[in-house]
Amino acid sequence: MSIKVKLKYWILLLFFMGKSISVSAQNRMLSGKVTDLNSTLLSNVNISLRNGKNLILRSLYTNENGAYALLITDSLSKDPTLFLQATYLGFKKKQIQLKTNKSIYDFLLEIDPVELSEVNIKNKPTITKRGDTLSYSVNSFARNEDRSIGDVLKHLPGVIVGDDGKISFNGQPISNLFIGGDDLMGGRYGLATRSISKDLIKNIEVLKNHQPIKVLEDKILTNNIAMNLVLKDENSLKLSGEGMLGAGVPSQFDAALNLIALNKRLKMLNSAKTNNSGIDYRSDFKDLSSDNSLISNHFSKPEFLTSNGTTGAPDLPRKNYYDNKSAVINLNNLVNTKKGLQMRFNVQGFTDQNSLAHTSKVANYLPGDTIIFNERQTLTQKTNLINTGFSVSKNDYRVFFNNTLNFNVKHDQYLSPLNFNGLGFNQRLTNQAYDFSNNFSYIPKLKNSDIIILKWNVNYFSNPQRLFIDEGINPEVMNNNTKYNGLTQNVKIPVFFSDVSSNFIIPDALVKQNYQIGISNEFKQLNSNIRIFDTDPAGHNYPNDAGNALNWQSHKFYINASYSLKTDIWQLSLSSPLQLQLVRYNQPEYQIDKKTNQLSVGPYVNVNLKTGDENYINADLSYVNNMGDVNSVYRGSILTNYRTLQNNDADLQVKKNLRFGLKYHLEKSIDLAFSNIGINFSQIMASSIAFTLLSDNIQQTVLVPVKNNSSRLSVHTDFSKYFFLLKGKIELSANYSKLKTNLYLNNQLLPYFNNNLILNFGYDTKLANVISLNYNLAYGYTEGGQKNEEFKKFNFTTTRFDQYLTLTYSPTDQLSIEANAQQIINRQQENLTSRFFLMNSNLRYKLFNNRIDLGLEATNLFNTKNYTTSSISSSQLQERIYNIRGTMVILRVIYIL
């Protein structure tokens, strides 16, 4: 003990003693110090004064010098059984009996090797580990009004279900939906969430960092979030389901039947549906999975080159314009064998007919001239499709393999009478798609932590297209100025693709490494011809060129190394794919036989820096070097739509894309204030450009070898804050983007620009406990034109105001009423203004203990007939007017089997 400490101890003691004397002569001061066997003073030792029954009467702790001083009253000290006990964790407790005339009691404590040795507490095994899983009990989250598991999903914290059925957790789309641990739907899970009753499911599990392959568990941590529906009874042989019938005016029907059996061995979900009330079944079987780790990313299916027109669908809810008659059969069946093999069979058959009528006006702004295209079209689309999938897999802790075979056929026919610049004619477009693919993957278990993955993907795809027009349009271009009666454009792009690759992953190092090596081969043809019909009913070929009979091969050898590093503040990931691509294509009829080799690197860097508890900066930079496709080399003309003729006169297009993004996120969440500011820049350098010749009725486009750049700069900021006084949230956001591009129009290479500003305001509040209100106002301003100062008069603009209000009233759990209204004011070029107003309302009521569900839905209450919108793209201003569905009222009765 040092002299200094000793001194302190004595001063303290004197202080307490003096005090005790001054307060009462009757009281008694006990004091002392506590040390261990090495004479180290122990602080924070509990000193308790106890009586013979071991009851604590007083208690205190030693100070930093290991000293204590305890004042006890005279009446208390008369008890002869009193003792002092020193207790200190890690030491044996010690007791000293009080003596009448002694006031200093020092303790010497011995180390106790077993902590808490004197108390008998059982050691209990920890609760079962369940990986990184959040489990939600369906019972505690389901509400009375919920029917399907999809309804319950909407109430889970952090879960969103999109309009198309896609599920996201904390903003991230789930990789797949599993039912009782099995992937019954093969990623097309929209039907499952809509039709599986909440009563069949016990828990909903959200599996973070989900690794579906057991061999890779604990080896590769994915960022995937998967969802699993845990069955209430996995041995149940019960068949369940629901039936729905609906009818309404004007002549509306809606019917559906689902049959479901889910158990450990067998899972089936089969459904049949039909309606004409604006419900699109495509979302029932859309592939929603985002886990593509076993599928090649080097293959993209060739697109259809011909189309029935130039106008897309309106930006309104599909229900408001989808005038349909549809039916779907969707069969999903899965069997687990005793040997651990799993077999799955999925079939979807869909038939649909829908129509949409619209008029469109396209103004093409050229230097010194404006060319207007007017079109009026009534489009009828008939679709028939069958998707089939068969898969066999084994997934245990020794090996993983999977083989999935898919065969999909689709037949689309579009009938579209059209009036173009006053000329009326009929069009018939037939698009077919045959899609065959087989994906194989194999992952063996290795002794160490390293991983090898082998994959082989094979695809065959073909898309015969045929466009027939029953009028001799543009004879000066199409038939050497000779009048004719009609034409047919045929196109077919069959392609065979194979990709074999292997990954080698070192997951355990400080810097995680993933190396991939692979070979992909693509064999493609492009066959097309235009047939002109005049007096000879057999017709003749397009006189100006020989059509296309193009052969194409592309072979890639690729090596990709990616690294990632993470600390508490920094996060860095880096990858640099290295690729050697050999392309060979020939078109003998144009004396073309070319070989091209390209070695390219595509580096990507992403850095994330935390600058505070809630703030961070994120930056990313990428550079991609892309080689073109058959679309950029075919020489013979293709009529891509009734007024566009397209071909190429350049070597294979090479596009270099440089992209940079920076984002700063600021938040003070306790004040409910959030803000983001970001900037993005992207530049594309292309080796060729589309040379366009525009005349009054036709647009001819040739890809020519002229180097050109285009760039886009965009700035974004948003701010949101909850105001405690208003009891509501206000959101503000602003977006500005600036596009610079070049157009080669009628022999002039001209710089064009598009500037776009969007401002948003939103207010969300609760008026009373049973009424809520949501209001949104958006303002958009777009201008386009030529950058060149002297042509400034060619600037053209559109402005759009869009406001949206929703009111919800739900006085009880059985009843809810919602009304929403949308107003759009669209103005172009200062003078043309159009207004649009849409109001919908719906009511839901449940009865007979929720076995029956009634829904009354009224859409477009004010019977608005059409919707006008306009858009700007480089040199064009397009105004479109769509006919929409009028007032509809439908009553639906759902019965749970």
Within residues 195-224, the interface with other proteins by CB under 8 A covers: 208-209, 221
CA dist., res. 433 & res. 300, Å (int): 14
Nearer to other proteins, 78 or 483 (CB): 78
Which segment (138-146, 236-244, 392-400, 555-563) binds other proteins by CB under 8 A?
A: 138-146
Nearer to other proteins, 150 or 547 (CB): 150
* Contact (CB, 8 A) for 722 and 672: yes
Which segment (87-95, 232-240, 396-404, 413-421) binds other proteins by CB under 8 A?
A: 87-95
CA dist., res. 411 & res. 602, Å (int): 38
By CB under 8 A, tell whether 802 contacts other proteins. Answer: no
Which segment (85-93, 104-112, 473-481, 589-597) binds other proteins by CB under 8 A?
A: 85-93
Binding mask 54-83 for other proteins (x = CB under 8 A): xxxxxx-x----------------------
| Pairing state between β 465-469 and 486-492 | antiparallel
The one among 76, 160, 405, 578 contacting other proteins by CB under 8 A: 160
Q: Could you give the 3-state DSSP secondary structure of residue 642?
A: coil
DSSP per residue over 489-530, as a string? EEEE--EEEEEEEEEEEE-SSSSEEEEEEEEEEEEEEEEEEE
The one among 7, 111, 116, 511 contacting other proteins by CB under 8 A: 116
Instruction: Write down the least CB distance from residue 448 to other proteins, Å.
Output: 20
Binding mask 353-392 for other proteins (x = CB under 8 A): ----------------------------------------
Instruction: Write down the least CB distance from residue 726 to other proteins, Å.
Output: 10
The one among 38, 39, 100, 123 contacting other proteins by CB under 8 A: 123
For tokens 């828990």, what's the residue? 203
By CB under 8 A, tell whether 807 contacts other proteins. Answer: no
* Contact (CB, 8 A) for 167 and 177: yes
DSSP per residue over 672-692, as a string? TEEEEEEEEEEEEEES-EEEE
The one among 3, 22, 53, 101 contacting other proteins by CB under 8 A: 53
Which segment (127-135, 199-207, 240-248, 286-294) binds other proteins by CB under 8 A?
A: 127-135
Which segment (278-286, 442-450, 476-484, 662-670) binds other proteins by CB under 8 A?
A: 662-670
Instruction: Write down the least CB distance from residue 818 to other proteins, Å.
Output: 11
The one among 266, 569, 749, 893 contacting other proteins by CB under 8 A: 569
Nearer to other proteins, 442 or 664 (CB): 664
By CB under 8 A, tell whether 92 contacts other proteins. Answer: no
HSE-CB for 853 with a 13 A CA cutoff: 18
Nearer to other proteins, 390 or 804 (CB): 804
Nearer to other proteins, 608 or 829 (CB): 608
Instruction: Write down the least CB distance from residue 665 to other proteins, Å.
Output: 8
Instruction: Write down the least CB distance from residue 128 to other proteins, Å.
Output: 9
Nearer to other proteins, 378 or 772 (CB): 772
Write out the two tokens for 651: 């070597």
Which segment (66-74, 166-174, 378-386, 881-889) binds other proteins by CB under 8 A?
A: 166-174
* Contact (CB, 8 A) for 511 and 565: yes
For tokens 């271009």, what's the residue? 477
**Local structure of residue 11 (DSSP, 8 states):** H
By CB under 8 A, tell whether 757 contacts other proteins. Answer: no
By CB under 8 A, tell whether 760 contacts other proteins. Answer: yes
Which segment (50-58, 265-273, 489-497, 749-757) binds other proteins by CB under 8 A?
A: 50-58
Instruction: Write down the least CB distance from residue 720 to other proteins, Å.
Output: 6
- Residue of 402, 383, 378, 382 whose CA lies nearest to 391: 402
Write out the two tokens for 605: 């860097």
Residues 600-629 that bind other proteins (CB under 8 A): 608, 610-616
Contacts of 554 (CB under 8 A, 6+ apart): 521, 522, 524, 581, 582, 583, 584, 627
Q: Which H helix or E strand runs over 16? A: helix 3-23
Instruction: Write down the least CB distance from residue 560 to other proteins, Å.
Output: 24
CA dist., res. 508 & res. 510, Å (int): 7
CA dist., res. 487 & res. 231, Å (int): 58
By CB under 8 A, tell whether 130 contacts other proteins. Answer: yes
Instruction: Write down the least CB distance from residue 820 to other proteins, Å.
Output: 12
Residue 392, number of CB atoms within 10 A of its CB: 14
Nearer to other proteins, 54 or 374 (CB): 54
Instruction: Write down the least CB distance from residue 790 to other proteins, Å.
Output: 40
CA dist., res. 848 & res. 854, Å (int): 11
Instruction: Write down the least CB distance from residue 189 to other proteins, Å.
Output: 17
For residues 379-391, b (16+ Cβ closer than 10 Å) or e, as one string? bbbbbebebebbb
Instruction: Write down the least CB distance from residue 295 to other proteins, Å.
Output: 24
By CB under 8 A, tell whether 447 contacts other proteins. Answer: no
C-alpha distance from residue 664 to each of 20, 336, 621, 897 (Å)? 64, 49, 15, 53
- Residue of 690, 628, 631, 626 whose CA lies nearest to 653: 628
By CB under 8 A, tell whether 157 contacts other proteins. Answer: yes
Residues 280-309 that bind other proteins (CB under 8 A): none
Q: Could you give the 3-state DSSP secondary structure of residue 278?
A: coil
Nearer to other proteins, 756 or 760 (CB): 760
Length of the chain: 897
Nearer to other proteins, 161 or 329 (CB): 161
CA dist., res. 30 & res. 97, Å (int): 12
The one among 171, 250, 422, 537 contacting other proteins by CB under 8 A: 171
C-alpha distance from residue 428 to each of 431, 487, 540, 645, 885 (Å)? 10, 11, 19, 17, 24
Contacts of 422 (CB under 8 A, 6+ apart): 374
Binding mask 767-786 for other proteins (x = CB under 8 A): -----x-x------------
Which segment (16-24, 155-163, 361-369, 783-791) binds other proteins by CB under 8 A?
A: 155-163
By CB under 8 A, tell whether 573 contacts other proteins. Answer: no
By CB under 8 A, tell whether 158 contacts other proteins. Answer: yes
- Residue of 494, 492, 491, 590 whose CA lies nearest to 531: 491
Using only C-alpha atoms, the chain has a radius of gyration, in whole angstroms, of 37
Instruction: Write down the least CB distance from residue 28 to other proteins, Å.
Output: 18
Residues 706-735 that bind other proteins (CB under 8 A): 718, 720-722, 724, 727-729, 731, 733
C-alpha distance from residue 201 to each of 147, 179, 285, 895 (Å)? 12, 9, 22, 19
Number of residues binding to other proteins, judged by CB under 8 A: 85
Nearer to other proteins, 10 or 723 (CB): 723
Contacts of 359 (CB under 8 A, 6+ apart): 374, 375, 376, 377, 880, 881
By CB under 8 A, tell whether 811 contacts other proteins. Answer: no
**Local structure of residue 190 (DSSP, 8 states):** H
- Residue of 285, 370, 372, 297 whose CA lies nearest to 326: 285
Instruction: Write down the least CB distance from residue 857 to other proteins, Å.
Output: 19
By CB under 8 A, tell whether 134 contacts other proteins. Answer: yes
Binding mask 664-693 for other proteins (x = CB under 8 A): -x---xxxx-x-------------------
* Contact (CB, 8 A) for 706 and 744: yes
Contacts of 213 (CB under 8 A, 6+ apart): 395, 400, 443
Write out the two tokens for 515: 């190396």
Instruction: Write down the least CB distance from residue 199 to other proteins, Å.
Output: 15
CA dist., res. 810 & res. 209, Å (int): 38
